[in-house]
Amino acid sequence: MTRHIKYIGILLVALIGVNYLSSIAFKRFDLTKDKRYTLSDASINIINSVESPIIIDVFLEGDHFPSEFRRLQNETRQLLEEFSAKNSNIVFNFMNPLEDEATRDSNMQQLVQRGLTPMQLSVQESGKSTQEVIFPWALASYNDETVIIPLVKNKIGASQQELVTNSVQHLEYAFADGFSKLTKPKSRKIAVLKGNGELPDRYIADFAKKLGEYYYLAPFTLDSVAVNPQKTLKDLQVFDLIIAAKPTEAFSEEEKLVLDQYTMNGGKSLWLIDAVAMEKDSLYNESGSNFAVIRDLNLTDFFFKYGVRINPVLVSTLYSAPITLAMGDGSESQFQHLRWPYSPLASSNDNHPIVNNLNLVRFDFANQIDTLKNNIKKTILLETAPLTKLEGTPRQISLEMVTQEPNPALFNNGNQILAVLLEGEFTSVYQNRIKPFKLSEEKDKSEPTKMIVIADGDVIKNDVTRGEPQELGFDKWTGQLYGNKEFLLNAVNYLLDDDGLINIRSKEITVAFLNQEKIADQKTTWQLVNIALPLALLGFFGFGFNYFRKKKYTA
């Protein structure tokens, strides 16, 4: 007896010791094939620096979610648990702002005013379809600052299951990006080039506002090159990135040399270039037409040396965004969405973090890019659909073509490159050439750097209605939101991202869903299997047990 008590005592002490050790040291294991619950190094670095609580309110809560969005809800909760396990200062709670009927309308109004737009879902249950409103957003607060975190990643034409898959894949980046904005002060500087007929501020206002959440922005003019090129280059090198948003006036050789030496010194750049002069607004005249002509920016040799060529041709494709026109006479006229081949919708099959899981990007009168062989690494970011043709310039563009049925056989030029990323050690445009002026320090070979070239300036251009800039990529006529802003933001983040946060976007996650049609068709069968069958087995076991027990004791 004494020995038994001794063993029991040892066992109790051992259990208490194990429990104590497990409370101060524990390990989580991710057994999923795609490692969806393993946080990236960039995410861990961000949350490790959090020294006071980040409070996260998640509005993805409710009793009548479709099964797909319950999956998104669970994945969000599990991801936040991983963040919280790494740093206890990550505190989160789920709430349903629409739960209380008395405050439902006022809560909706407050959330919408803060920029959290609701989403209407179709719920299929027992063969019946109903509509449900949800707010797929989270608010993260830290030291009196709050950021909005989107939980749904929209994509044109996606089903609810595809929408949830895209959203789950985007979750870690969305939260890590939000935490980064809260905890890391802005340090990088971006120069928006002026002086060569670039887009006015009101047409890049929406993207500039978004960039301002991450970086410092300032306009920079190259006019002073003619007076003091050395000082201009020195001033430009203060900036980590330059953006050229649709220049329309030619660059001088002096300006090009300054820009070239900026690249040679490791400067990053984002170029949005139109090699053809053509504007959609110029078609809205009495004739309904205008001529597309070559726009000479004196940059051909500039990009050629770096490894790309923007050709002065128009890209026309059958897979494009529509144009909205008033059709009919007088009071009988109605707005109609008509096929317009000069607004290509571009995408990418690449898993690169800039374009992975990206919505379609809308172009207007885009040009074609050729890549050239040199030592620079080139990544095609965006390209057209295969049914594309190239149209030389000059040529007349008319709105009358919307009434003509296109011949698919003519759209036989295949996929055309519209945006490309260049990475590596660039060779100077002015190597072994007479330079327009002397610099104190000239480089013929750059430090490792990056550059993105986009063959359309309108990618960055937002609409302006009644003097107010609209959201970049939003088409007020069709209600579609294209991926322009996200693409450009990803591009800038990639060019300037040293901590690897943007690379989280390339993480691939596979989400398996139940087949709703099979669920509806086989509902009764599986109810019998899960309810009646266990009862039958239990009855059979009980009958058999009693039978053999009675037989044993009778004998």
Cβ-contact 182, 145 below 8 angstroms = yes
pLDDT value at 536 more than 70:
yes
281 burial type by CB count under 10 A (0-12 exposed, 13-18 middle, 19+ buried): exposed
Q: Report the pLDDT averaged over residues 298-324.
A: 94
Q: Write out pLDDT tens, residues 464-503.
A: 998 899 999 999 888 889 999 999 999 999 999 766 778 7
107-121, 136-150, 499-513: least confident range: 499-513
Please state the rounded mean pLDDT for residues 296-320.
95
pLDDT surpassing 80 at residue 360: yes
Q: Where are the beta strands (DSSP E) in 328-435?
A: 334-338, 345-346, 361-362, 368-371, 377-383, 388-391, 395-398, 417-424
User: Looking at the predicted structure, is the pLDDT value of residue 412 above 70?
Assistant: yes
Range picked from 151-160, 212-221, 436-445 for highest mean pLDDT: 212-221
Q: Amino acid identity of 397?
A: I
Residue 194 has which token pair?
């002026």
pLDDT of 513 strictly over 50: no
pLDDT of residue 361: 95
Specify the pairing of strand 323-327 against strand 334-338: antiparallel
Whether the per-residue pLDDT at 268 is higher than 50: the answer is yes
- Across 298-307, average pLDDT: 95
Least confident of 269-278, 377-386, 544-553: 544-553
pLDDT tens, 29-81?
Answer: 555 655 656 788 888 888 888 889 999 999 887 766 767 778 888 889 999 99
What pLDDT, on a 0 to 100 scale, did the predictor assign at position 386? 94
pLDDT at residue 520 is higher than 70: no
Name, in order, each residue with C-beta under 8 angstroms of 434's C-beta and a sequence gap of 6 or more.
none
State the DSSP code for 52. Answer: S
pLDDT of amino acid 543? 77
User: Is 18 a residue whose pLDDT tops 90?
Assistant: no
Q: pLDDT, tens digit, for every residue of 390-401? A: 999 999 999 988
- Say whether pLDDT at 113 is over 60: yes
pLDDT value at residue 351: 83
pLDDT over 90 at 117, yes or no: no
Top pLDDT among 381 and 284 is at 381
CA distances from 175 to 52, 97, 117 (A): 17, 21, 18
Higher pLDDT, 216 or 550: 216
Query: pTM score, two decimals?
Result: 0.82
What integer best gives the mean pLDDT of the chain? 86
Domain at 30-183, CATH from 3.40.30, 2.60.40, 3.40.50, 1.20.1070: 3.40.30
Centre a 10 Å sphere on the Cβ of residue 464 and count the other Cβ atoms it contains.
14
Looking at residue 405, what is its pLDDT?
A: 87
- Give me the pLDDT at residue 20, please: 67
Domain boundaries, the chain: 30-183, 189-482
Task: Report the pLDDT value the prediction gives residue 162, as an integer from 0 to 100.
Answer: 79
Cβ contact 230:201 at 8 Å: no
Q: What integer is the mean pLDDT of 218-245?
A: 92
Query: In this predicted structure, which of 15-24, 212-221, 227-236, 502-511 has the lowest mean pLDDT?
Result: 502-511
Phi, psi (rounded to 5 degrees) for 297: -100, 0
- According to the model, what pLDDT value does residue 303 have? 96
Q: Tell me which of 128 and 382 has the higher pLDDT.
A: 382
Q: What is the mean pLDDT of residues 262-282?
A: 94
Report the share of the chain in percent with pLDDT over 90.
Answer: 47
Question: Distance between the two ends of the chain, CA-based, in angstroms?
Answer: 38
**Helix (H/G/I), strand (E/B), else coil: 347:** strand
Distance CA 434, CA 242 (A): 25
CATH topology of domain 189-482: Rossmann fold (3.40.50)
Percent of the chain with pLDDT over 70: 87
Q: Residue 514 pLDDT > 50, yes or no?
A: no
Closest CA to 419 of 389, 452, 451, 390: 452
Determine the pLDDT at residue 274.
95
What integer is the mean pLDDT of 367-372?
96
Binning pLDDT at 50, 70 and 90, where does residue 383 land? Answer: very high
Q: Is the dihedral of CA 177, 178, 182, 188 positive or negative?
A: positive
pLDDT at residue 209 greater than cutoff 90: yes
Q: What is the pLDDT of residues 415-430, one digit of tens each?
A: 999 999 999 999 999 9
